[in-house]
């Protein structure tokens, strides 16, 4: 009398597969958890390697490129990044004046895309820095023309005279 | 430990039962993390580069303002400023722009004062004669010019002027020099049409950094129509421009965050009937509330940690390996001579933890919170709905 057989997925295509275990056998328990932990660790290792690579590259840039870039910036007196060439207040945001975004067309909306990215320099909007840079003068009495003018607190006659001078350039003390 | 692993295993089996839905969540979640992280990595890298580079910039730049506009300044002003204590030297800067109608690009003209003609990052040398020029990589590529070649530029009097190219700036300096054409200072003044005895502005070298603000105040008092710009103000400008809170970057950043909030909100607003039934059955077969909550926590951790790792890896590769090709069009605007971005790889661990904390914790909380209500309800009631 032959032994009764039951359907087993592993025997579907012929003889039983000795490497295929039953879903409820102990070696199958937690195999998903193990796989997840292994893959998660692998992901963390890749992420950690990338962070390590960024640190290495950052140090290499500081050691090899930065001194040369600083020397270039210093030699040519460069004060801005050459990113946006659309308008002067986007090419040289640090050198822009208060009104530059609008001075070519008063009341016009922002017409350069980079203007949406380049926020105004905090220097332009920070009243403290304006005061600190010495723009706050005192009001003097009305002159003969009846107008009131803000005058600097100190202005020596030689300084005033020196303003008209234009002798040479590249000054040193 | 084994018990926790078994619950994790069960959570993975539970997620596997709805593979399409969960992989879709992981894809959207990872994409959101990648967008937010890309913006943060790129802006942080450029901000850091600017902060490091402009340490070499002039301590003070003095402009003259008339009617709210920046106008040429008398070179003689520099003589007075040079006499201030702590001022090491003053040099006039001759710079401006010219528009090239053929390539429809705006080029920055910069005059190089006396000094070393050969310098690192310049293939060839800087100009020493009025007929010579050194050009940035963007300008060189646009005109197909190289050392020994010639370029024609239209000056302020709309006359085409021929310059011999004696130097080209090398690629690592693109972010500073991409659109530059450097000439001798005298030639730049002539080209830009600056009146005799005038410069665009004055670069002031100050010996003691602590005295820069004092010198700026003195300059302002001596010349009320001047506008002194200190180096720290230049650094603050770039800090603001590339801060994640500024302009378009904020728009992209908030778009990503809002997408994530919608995703988390969708999870937090309730469980599907199938999920409720699953919780009810688990309670009926003997799981306690703590086990059910741990199961849901593991589901949240599996989804969010997988998405976080995939998103961060994608962002790093996108920004630091590929040069942020998806963000560049937004940054570029209408610039014709936009440099090829090679952001210096730099990741602040604090930033990684912040991104992780801001994404994983809310998502796990949004997964566990609605399950808690179902887990504390009578199983019979939950299963019957």
Provide the sign of the torsion angle of the four alpha carbons A134, A136, A138, A139, taken in this order.
positive
**B98 membership: H or E segment, kind and range:** strand B95-100
Structure-token pair, residue B10:
């069960």
With an 8 Å Cβ cutoff, is B259 touching chain A?
Answer: no
Indicate if the pLDDT at residue B384 is higher than 70: no
Task: Kindly state whether residues B138 and B272 are assigned to the same domain.
Answer: no
- High-pLDDT (> 70) share of chain B, %: 95
pLDDT at site A53? 92
Least CB–CB distance from B334: residue in A29, A86, A155? A86
Structure-token pair, residue B378:
């009578």
Strands B198-199 and B73-74: antiparallel
Nearest alpha-carbon partner for B187 in B204, B158, B163: B163
Report the domain count for chain B.
2
Task: Kindly state whether residues B123 and B99 are assigned to the same domain.
Answer: yes
Cross-chain residue pair A30–B247, CB shorter than 8 Å = no
More confident of the two residues B264 and A98: B264
Structure-token pair, residue B331:
């940054």
| pTM recorded for the entire structure | 0.77
Indicate if the pLDDT at residue A145 is higher than 60: no
Instruction: Write the ipTM.
Output: 0.81
Task: Kindly state whether residues B26 and B149 are assigned to the same domain.
Answer: no
Q: Rounded to whole angstroms, how far apart are CA atoms A139 and A149?
A: 6
**Residue that finishes a domain, picked among B202, B230, B258:** B230
CA distances in angstroms from B369 to B364, B365, B376, B380, listed in the order given:
8, 6, 11, 21
Task: Kindly state whether residues B162 and B281 are assigned to the same domain.
Answer: no
Nearest alpha-carbon partner for B75 in B195, B161, B212: B195
Indicate if the pLDDT at residue B299 is higher than 80: yes
With an 8 Å Cβ cutoff, is B232 touching chain A?
Answer: no
Provide the sign of the torsion angle of the four alpha carbons B138, B142, B145, B151, taken in this order.
negative
Residue B274 counted as domain residue: yes
Each residue of B332-383: pLDDT tens digit?
777 778 888 888 888 888 888 888 888 888 888 888 877 777 777 777 776 6
Task: Kindly state whether residues B280 and B222 are assigned to the same domain.
Answer: no
Report helix, strand or coil for B322.
coil
Cross-chain residue pair B221–A134, CB shorter than 8 Å = yes
Each residue of B40-59: pLDDT tens digit?
898 889 888 888 888 878 88
**Residue that finishes a domain, picked among B161, B195, B230:** B230
User: What is the mean predicted confidence (pLDDT) over A127-131?
Assistant: 48
Indicate if the pLDDT at residue A46 is higher than 90: yes
Least CB–CB distance from B53: residue in A46, A70, A120? A70
Secondary structure string (H, E, C) spanning A38-107: HHHHHHHHHHHHHHHHHHHHHHHHHHHHHHHHHHHHHHCCCCCCCCCCCCHHHHCHHHCCCCCCCCCCCC
User: What is the mean predicted confidence (pLDDT) over B20-29?
Assistant: 87
A2: β partners: none
Rounded to 10°, the helix B2-16/B19-53 angle is 110
B212 CB-contact burial (10 Å; exposed 0-12 / middle 13-18 / buried 19+): buried
Each residue of B75-105: pLDDT tens digit?
989 888 998 888 988 999 999 999 888 888 8
What is the rounded average pLDDT for all residues in chain A? Answer: 64
Q: Rounded to whole angstroms, how far apart are CA atoms B330 and B48?
A: 20
Task: Kindly state whether residues B104 and B171 are assigned to the same domain.
Answer: yes
Q: Rounded to whole angstroms, how far apart are CA atoms A26 and B173?
A: 62
Task: Kindly state whether residues B200 and B302 are assigned to the same domain.
Answer: no
Residue B250 counted as domain residue: yes
pLDDT at site A139? 40
Task: Kindly state whether residues B188 and B165 are assigned to the same domain.
Answer: yes
pLDDT at site A146? 45
Each residue of A47-84: pLDDT tens digit?
999 999 999 999 998 998 889 888 888 888 888 888 88
More confident of the two residues B194 and A8: B194
What is the rounded average pLDDT for all residues in chain B? Answer: 85
Chain B residues in contact with A74 (beta carbon < 8 A): 56-57
Structure-token pair, residue B356:
């992780």
Half-sphere exposure of A49 (CA within 13 A, CB side): 8
Residue B215 counted as domain residue: yes
Residue B237 counted as domain residue: no
Indicate if the pLDDT at residue A127 is higher than 60: no
Cross-chain residue pair A123–B220, CB shorter than 8 Å = no
Split at pLDDT 50, 70, 90, the class of A131 is very low
Task: Kindly state whether residues B47 and B66 are assigned to the same domain.
Answer: no
Each residue of B128-170: pLDDT tens digit?
888 899 999 999 988 888 888 888 888 888 888 889 999 999 8
What DSSP character marks residue B256?
H
pLDDT at site B313? 95
Task: Kindly state whether residues B103 and B137 are assigned to the same domain.
Answer: yes
Domain containing B173: what range?
58-230
Q: Are residues B179 and B138 in contact, defined by beta-carbon separation less than 8 angstroms?
A: yes
Q: State the DSSP string of B220-246.
A: HHH-TTEEEEEHHHHHHHHHHHTSTTS
Q: Which residue do the tokens 């008398």 mark?
A: B74
So where are chain A's domains?
Answer: 34-78, 80-134
Split at pLDDT 50, 70, 90, the class of A120 is low
pLDDT at site A151? 41
Nearest alpha-carbon partner for B221 in B94, B92, B87, B80: B80
Indicate if the pLDDT at residue A5 is higher than 70: no
Q: Are residues B49 and B343 in contact, defined by beta-carbon separation less than 8 angstroms?
A: yes
**Residue that finishes a domain, picked among B230, B265, B289:** B230
Residue B360 counted as domain residue: yes
Each residue of A83-93: pLDDT tens digit?
888 777 788 88
Nearest alpha-carbon partner for B272 in B291, B299, B298: B299
B66: β partners: B69
Indicate if the pLDDT at residue A4 is higher than 60: no
Restricting to B residues 58-117, those with a Cβ less than 8 Å away from any Cβ of A are 58, 61, 63, 65, 68-70, 74-83, 87-93, 97, 105-108, 110, 112-116
More confident of the two residues A29 and A154: A29
pLDDT at site B188? 92
Structure-token pair, residue B55:
């340490």
pLDDT at site B286? 79
């Amino acid at each position: 009398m032959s032994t009764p057989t039951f359907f087993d997925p592993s025997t579907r295509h012929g003889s039983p597969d000795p490497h295929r275990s039953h879903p409820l056998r102990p070696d199958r328990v937690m195999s998903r958890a193990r796989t997840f932990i292994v893959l998660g660790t692998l992901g963390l290792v890749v992420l950690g390697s990338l962070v390590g690579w960024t640190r290495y590259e950052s140090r290499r840039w500081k050691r090899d490129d930065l001194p040369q870039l600083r020397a270039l910036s210093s030699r040519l007196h460069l004060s801005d990044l050459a990113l946006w060439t659309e308008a002067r207040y986007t090419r040289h945001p640090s050198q822009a004046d208060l009104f530059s975004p609008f001075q070519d067309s008063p009341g016009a909306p922002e017409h350069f895309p980079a203007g949406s990215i380049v926020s105004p320099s905090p220097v332009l909007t920070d009243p403290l820095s304006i005061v600190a840079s010495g723009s706050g003068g005192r009001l003097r009495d009305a002159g003969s023309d009846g107008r009131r003018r803000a005058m600097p607190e100190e202005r020596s006659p030689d300084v005033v005279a020196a303003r008209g001078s234009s002798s040479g350039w590249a000054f040193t003390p | 430990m084994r018990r926790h692993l078994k619950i994790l295993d069960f959570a993975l089996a539970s997620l596997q039962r709805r593979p399409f839905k969960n992989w879709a969540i992981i894809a959207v979640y990872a994409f959101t993390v990648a967008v937010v992280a890309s913006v943060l990595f790129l802006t942080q890298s450029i901000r850091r580069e600017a902060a490091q580079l402009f340490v070499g910039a002039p301590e003070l730049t003095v402009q003259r303002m008339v009617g709210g506009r920046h106008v040429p300044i008398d070179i003689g002003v520099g003589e007075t400023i040079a006499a201030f204590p702590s001022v090491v030297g003053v040099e006039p800067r001759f710079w401006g722009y010219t528009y090239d109608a053929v390539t429809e690009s705006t080029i920055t003209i910069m005059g190089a004062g006396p000094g070393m003609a050969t310098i690192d990052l310049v293939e060839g040398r800087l100009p020493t004669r009025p007929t010579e020029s050194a050009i940035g990589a963007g300008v060189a590529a646009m005109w197909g010019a190289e050392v020994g070649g010639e370029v024609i530029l239209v000056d302020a009097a709309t006359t085409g002027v021929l310059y011999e190219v004696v130097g080209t700036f090398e690629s690592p300096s693109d972010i500073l020099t991409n659109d530059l054409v450097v000439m001798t200072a005298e030639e730049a003044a002539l080209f830009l049409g600056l009146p005799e005895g005038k410069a665009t502005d004055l670069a002031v070298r100050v010996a003691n950094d602590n005295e820069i603000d004092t010198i700026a105040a003195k300059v302002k008092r001596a010349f009320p129509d001047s506008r002194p710009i200190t180096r720290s103000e230049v650094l603050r400008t770039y800090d603001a421009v590339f801060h994640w809170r500024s302009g378009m970057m904020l728009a992209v950043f908030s778009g990503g965050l809002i997408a994530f909030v919608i995703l988390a909100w969708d999870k937090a607003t309730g469980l599907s009937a199938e999920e409720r039934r699953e919780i009810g059955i688990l309670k009926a077969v003997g799981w306690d509330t703590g086990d059910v909550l741990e199961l849901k926590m593991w589901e949240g951790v599996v989804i969010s940690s997988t998405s976080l790792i995939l998103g961060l890896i994608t962002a790093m590769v996108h920004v630091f390996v590929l040069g942020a090709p998806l963000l560049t069009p937004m940054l570029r605007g209408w610039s014709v001579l936009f440099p090829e971005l090679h952001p210096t790889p730099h990741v602040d661990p604090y930033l990684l933890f912040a991104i992780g904390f801001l994404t994983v914790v809310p998502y796990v909380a949004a997964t566990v919170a609605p399950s808690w209500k179902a887990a504390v309800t009578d199983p019979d009631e939950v299963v019957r709905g």
